[in-house]
Amino acid sequence: MRILAIVQGEFGNRKVRNLRKHAPSEWRVEALKLPPALPLILDDLDEFLPDHLPDVDLVLALGESPSAMELVPEVVRRSGAKAAIIPVDDSEWLPPGLKAQIKRELESLGVAFVFPTPFCALAGGRDPRIKGFSEYFGKPELRVEVEDGFVREVKVLRDAPCGNTRYVAEKLRGARVEKASMLAQQYHHQYPCLASSIKDRYAHDNMMNRAGRILEKEIKRNLPSAS
């Protein structure tokens, strides 16, 4: 699979590094790096996008501002991508009005898309490219082995795109079972989680808490006490 990630800062760069390190060897992950600061109004898209973009199957929108997200449909068009994943890790970067605009533009292009909220909520999808991506990255999926009341091994079946799940899995080895859930939350924040810690004006919560609950639920599902 050929992937083009739109990045604007360290949050996107970290996700790209994790994908390149742990994706299947036949995947090609390229990055379109945008300036850290973009004007609020983009009058000339050619000023910010190169004349040539690589032909890809899937676009990942990892921008960190509304202006960067506004470029997503044009990046999809120029790259020939047939699918796009546009995570909502911070609704200040992708407010509802802009999300609706991007949705309309991608629909007009006949492109499949999803808006996982946050990115680590992604699980499956009808489009084969999105589904293929989410087999490896998205909603954390683990297999936990317990022995004599301790976590002996944590195997990552599906990692969060930022790599948080692998970090937590490594830290949990050797933990007492009754403390594993609490420690998972602690390690999740230590990584740190890349979702916003600011209260979301639209969801009355923050994305970091959502991401933490997703991981905690998966940990609990795997522990003896969950049955």
Predicted pLDDT of residue 195 = 59
* Structural domain boundaries enclosing 157: 141-226
Same structural domain, 7 and 54: yes
Question: What is the pairing mode between strands 112-114 and 58-62?
Answer: unpaired
Same structural domain, 39 and 120: yes
Predicted pLDDT of residue 99 = 96
Tell me the average pLDDT across 186-192. Answer: 79
Same structural domain, 157 and 123: no
Same structural domain, 96 and 208: no
The pLDDT-based confidence of 172 (bands split at 50, 70, 90) is: very high
Cβ atoms of 109 and 124 closer than 8 Å: no
Same structural domain, 107 and 87: yes
Burial class (CB in 10 A: 0-12, 13-18, 19+), 175: middle
Same structural domain, 161 and 119: no
Predicted pLDDT of residue 203 = 56
Output 205 or 106, whichever has higher pLDDT: 106
Tell me the average pLDDT across 8-18. Answer: 93
Tell me the average pLDDT across 177-199. Answer: 77
Same structural domain, 130 and 155: no
Same structural domain, 57 and 74: yes
Same structural domain, 201 and 161: yes
Cβ atoms of 157 and 143 closer than 8 Å: yes
Q: Quick check: 31 pLDDT over 70?
A: yes
Output 49 or 133, whichever has higher pLDDT: 133
Which domain-ending residue is among 134, 167, 197?
134
Output 90 or 201, whichever has higher pLDDT: 90
- Residue type, position 11, single letter: F
Residue 55 structure tokens: 């032909």
Mean pLDDT of the chain: 90
The pLDDT-based confidence of 83 (bands split at 50, 70, 90) is: very high
CATH number at residue 16: 3.40.50
SS (H, E, C) the chain: CEEEEEECCHHHHHHHHHHHHHCCCCCEEEEEECCCCCCCCCCCHHHCCCCCCCCCCEEEEECCCHHHHHCHHHHHHHHCCCEEECCCCCCCCCCHHHHHHHHHHHHHCCCEEECCCCHHHCCCCCCHHHHHHHCCECCCEEEEEEECCEEEEEEEEEECCCCHHHHHHHHHCCCEHHHHHHHHHHHHHHCCCCCCCCCECCCCECHHHHHHHHHHHHHHHHCHHHC
Same structural domain, 158 and 114: no
Which domain-ending residue is among 102, 134, 166?
134
Same structural domain, 99 and 203: no
| Least confident piece of the model among 27-36, 148-157, 209-218 | 209-218
Rounded distance between C-alpha atoms, residue 163 and residue 157, angstroms: 12
Same structural domain, 187 and 94: no
Tell me the average pLDDT across 152-176. Answer: 95
Which domain-ending residue is among 134, 168, 198?
134
Tell me the average pLDDT across 51-68. Answer: 94
Total structural domains in the chain? 2
Predicted pLDDT of residue 188 = 86
The pLDDT-based confidence of 226 (bands split at 50, 70, 90) is: very low
